[in-house]
Structure 1
Amino acid sequence: MSTAAHTPAHPVHAPPATAVFTGIGVAAPGGLGTGTWWESVLRGESGIGPVTRFDASPYPVRIAGQVPGFVDEEHVSSRLLPQTDRVTRLSLAAAQEALDHAGVDLSSMPPYAAGVVTANSAGGFEFGQRELEALWSKGPQHVSAYQSFAWFYAVNSGQISIRHGLRGASGVVVSEQAGGLDAVAHARRQIRKGARLVVTGGLDSALCPWGWAAHLAGGGMSTCEDPARAYRPFAEDACGHVVGEGGALLVMEDAASAADRGARVYGSLAGHSATFDADPHSPGLADAAALALADAGLVAADVDLVLADGAGGRAADRAEAAALTALFGPYGVPVTAPKSMAGRLAAGGAALDLAAALLALRDQVIPPTTGTERPAADCPVDLVIGRPRTGVPLRTVLVLARGRGGFNSAAVVRAP
C-alpha cells in the first residue's frame, strides 16, 4: 500500500470573504441625507456656522458644524423620543437611509446573518445633561429611568438592532476620530466569520453646554469667529479645529451575497490597520497607512487619493504631512480634507470620510478642502483646494484618521 495514501491532506483554506459597501446613510453638517450632503460638498458649501443648539454666547468658541433640517419626530416614534438622545436619533435616520439605499430584504436573511457595529465617543451627552439638571434641581426621583442606557456609547447599535431586527454579532467601538474606521474594520471581521450584512460606521453629537465644556477642556478648538476660515487644515495660519455633529452609517455585505441579489456596490474595504501611540510625532500614522496597504496587497503607487485626517493644528498637520511624504513623496498624491466644511465629528468623522471616498470613486471626482488657501511650506501635500478636481482616474482611496489619546487608523477602499 502506498504510504501516500496515509498522508493527511493539507487543508485548503478559502480566501477571506470580500466586504463591500452597498448602502450609505448620512446625517452631517452640510446636508441631511447622502445626496444633499454630497452635492453641498462638491459645491464647497460649508456646514459650519453659529451654534444654534444652545446659547453659546458665554463661551470663547461659538461656531460648530450642525446637521441642518433634522426634525426628530420625522425619524423617531413618539414612544422612542423620551428614551433617546439626539445622537441616537441621527443614527437611526442614517441607518434607515443606508438600508433603504442598499435595497436589502432583511426578512429574507437567516436570523443571525445581519448585525450592527457602530463607533461613538461621547454617548448621549445632551440626554445626560438634562438628567443631571433634573437631579440637582428637583431630586433623584425626577431622573428618568432611560438614563440607565440613553447615555451609553452602545445605545446607537442597540436601537438600530432593535428597529431592524439585526440580531447577529454586534458591538460598539470607542476610539474617538479613528472610531469610524475601526468600526468598519470590526464589521469586516464579522463578514469574514460568516455574517452576510453589517450596518457600520459612526456618529457623534455633543452640542450642549456640558458637551461644549468638555470640547473646550480638550483643547485645540479654533477661536476664529469666521466660519469660512476657522478650520484650515495644513495651512500656515491653521489655528485649530471646529467641532461638529453627525457622521455616516454604511451597509457592508459579503460580496458573494451582494452579487447574488444584484446589489449596487460602491466599493470594497480592501485593507485596514490601526496603531496606537501617545506621541503625535511618532511614526504611528505612517505605519498604520503602510500596514493598511499591505493588508490590501497594494503599494503606495496604487493609491489615487488620500482623505486626510486634517487636524487643523500646526504640529498635528506637520506630522500628518510627514507621514504622507514618507509614503508618497512630496506632493506625490492628491490629498483632500472635506471635513473642513463639517468640522471634526469625533466618531462620525472618519465614517463620513469613508462615505466621501466611496462617492468619489462612484463619480470620479475629488471633493475639495475649503478654508485653506494653500498648504504651508512644511506641509508638502498636493491639497485639493477650493473646487473639486476631475480628470484623475480614481480606483483606490486611502482614508486616514487619528483619535485623541493616540489612536491611528487607516482604511483602503477600492472601486468595484
Structure 2
Amino acid sequence: MTATAVVTGVGVLAPNGIGAEEYWSATLRGESGIGRITRFDPSSYPSRLAGEVTGFAVRDHVPSRLVPQTDRTTQFALAGSDWALADCGLTADSLPADERGVVTASASGGFEFGQRELGHLWGKDPKHVSAYMSFAWFYAVNSGQVSIRHDLRGPTGVVVADQAGGLDAVAQARRRIRKGTPLMLTGGMDASLCPYGLAAQVSAGILSESEDPARAYLPFDAAADGHVPGEGGAMLTLEDAERARERGARSYGEISGYAATFDPRPGSGRPANLERAVRGALADAGLRPDDIAFVLADGAGEPESDRVEAQALTAVFGPEGVPVTVPKTMTGRLYSGAGPLDLVTALFALRDGVVPPTVHVDRPATGYDIDLVTGSPRPVGGDAALVLARGRGGFNSAMVVRRPSAA
C-alpha cells in the first residue's frame, strides 16, 4: 500500500507575518505587507514596491557562527526549518539521520550575498571576497545548510522552476515519503530584494510600476499591469500518515494530488497546458472537480497570464464553478516561497472553514468567468483545495490538499 504524505509541521516567514498563526491571522484580516522597498534605495528603479519581511532579527533565530556564512534566503530557510521541526514534535534523535531528508525550491539563490562579495572583488581586491561565496549564492545552499544543521542524511535535493518550484519540491518530498522515507523537510524561501536582484526582476518587464501599494498587484483585475515581488515563504515537515498517527502527531492535512506540465514556446500556436496540470492533480488525488472547495490561484497579475489561468479554471470547474482567491496580493509574489506558503494557507483555510480574500481587486476584468473572493474572507465547506503555481519559461504545477483523515 502506498504511503500517504501528511503535513505535521510548518514554519512561515511572510511580509505580513512571521510565524504560521501570525501570518494566517493577518491574512484573514486582509493586512498587506507590500510597501516601498526599505532595504536599499529603489529610487533609480522603475518598480519600487515589494513585500519585505520586517521584524526578523537574524541573530535571534540563526546561530551566530552561521550568520556571516549565509544569505538572507538561507537565514529564512534555517529559521523556518527550525520552526517546522519543532512544530511537528520531533527532535534530532527521534529518527536515524538517514531516515530524515530535505528537498527545497530556489528561484534566485543567494543574490544579496553574491552582490556584496562581487562588490568586494571589483571595489577592493580578491582577498576581500568571503570564502563562503563558493556556496552561499548557490541554488542548493538552503538544502545543504538545513541538512547540516539538523543532521538530515536521507534523500536531499533542490528544485529550480521559478514560482512553480515550491510545489514541485513538496511533490518530490511526497515521493520520498511514499518510497519509505519517514520524514522529509521541504518547502521554499526567497529573498532577492537587493539592487542586483531587483535589476534582474525588472529586466523581465513584468513588474508593476505603480507607486500605490493598494493598486500595484491586481490579479484578474481590469487594471492589472504586472506583479510586486516579495520575500519569504514556508517550510513544511512531511511524514507518512500511519507513522504520524502512531506517534500521536498532529496533522494539518494530506498532500493528496500533484501534476506538472510545461507550456509550449510563445508563438507556437499551441495552447497552454495549465488545464492539463489541474486535471492531472485531481486524477492523482482521486477527486472530481466538485470535490474542490476552493482554489488558490497563481494570479500573475498580467492580463494574458491571468486570462490563461481563468480559462483553465473555467474549463475544469465551469463558469464561476469554484471560489478562487489570490492571498499573495498581501505579500507579493514570493517565487520559490509562494507555493509552500499557499499550501499552508490552503490547509489553514480548510481547518477553519474560511477562505481569505484577494485584497485590492475591486474591478474584476470581464470575460474571466471565475468566482473571485474579494473584500473579506468567505466561509466555505469541503475537504479539499487546489493550489496552482506557474513559473517563467512555461512551468505549471498543481497540488491538491485535503483535511486530515479522521481515521
Q: What TM-score bracket applies, with the shorter chain setting the length? A: over 0.9
The answer as to whether partners of 1:234 and 1:375 remain within 8 angstroms in 2 is yes
Equivalent residue, structure 2, for 1:250: 236
Equivalent residue, structure 2, for 1:306: 295
CA distance in 2, matches of 1:227, 1:202: 25
Cα deviation, 1:73-111, whole Å, max 9, x if unaligned, reads 111122111100000001111111111111123412123
Deviation at 1:374, TM superposition (A): 3.6
The answer as to whether partners of 1:266 and 1:361 remain within 8 angstroms in 2 is no
> Which runs of 5 or more structure 2 residues have no equivalent in the other structure?
none
Equivalent residue, structure 2, for 1:370: 359
Residues 14-413 of structure 1 mapped to structure 2, 5 A cutoff: 15-279=1-265, 282-390=271-379, 392-413=380-401
The answer as to whether partners of 1:375 and 1:381 remain within 8 angstroms in 2 is no
The answer as to whether partners of 1:47 and 1:341 remain within 8 angstroms in 2 is yes
Amino acid at match of 1:49: G
* SS at 2:86 equivalent: helix
Amino acid at match of 1:372: V
CA distance in 1, matches of 2:206, 2:9: 34
% identical aligned pairs = 61
Cα deviation, 1:347-378, whole Å, max 9, x if unaligned, reads 01111101101111111110110011142112
The answer as to whether partners of 2:291 and 2:382 remain within 8 angstroms in 1 is no
TM-score normalised according to structure 1 size: 0.95
Moved over 3 A (4+): 278-281
The answer as to whether partners of 1:374 and 1:385 remain within 8 angstroms in 2 is no
* SS at 2:13 equivalent: strand
The answer as to whether partners of 1:278 and 1:405 remain within 8 angstroms in 2 is no
Amino acid at match of 1:190: R
* SS at 1:97 equivalent: helix
CA distance in 1, matches of 2:96, 2:65: 29
Deviation at 1:279, TM superposition (A): 4.3
Equivalent residues, number:
401
TM-score normalised according to structure 2 size: 0.97
Assess, with a 3 A threshold, how the Cα gap between structure 1 residues 213 and 314 changes in structure 2: closer, same or farther: same
* SS at 2:399 equivalent: strand
Amino acid at match of 1:212: L
Question: Aligned Cα RMSD in Å?
Answer: 1.0
The answer as to whether partners of 1:239 and 1:312 remain within 8 angstroms in 2 is yes
Deviation at 1:23, TM superposition (A): 0.7
Amino acid at match of 1:213: A
Deviation at 1:59, TM superposition (A): 1.0
Cα deviation, 1:237-269, whole Å, max 9, x if unaligned, reads 111100000101111101111011111101101
> Which runs of 5 or more structure 1 residues have no equivalent in the other structure?
1-14
Bigger radius of gyration among the two: 1
CA distance in 1, matches of 2:343, 2:39: 27
Which stretch shifts more, 323-332 or 270-279? 270-279
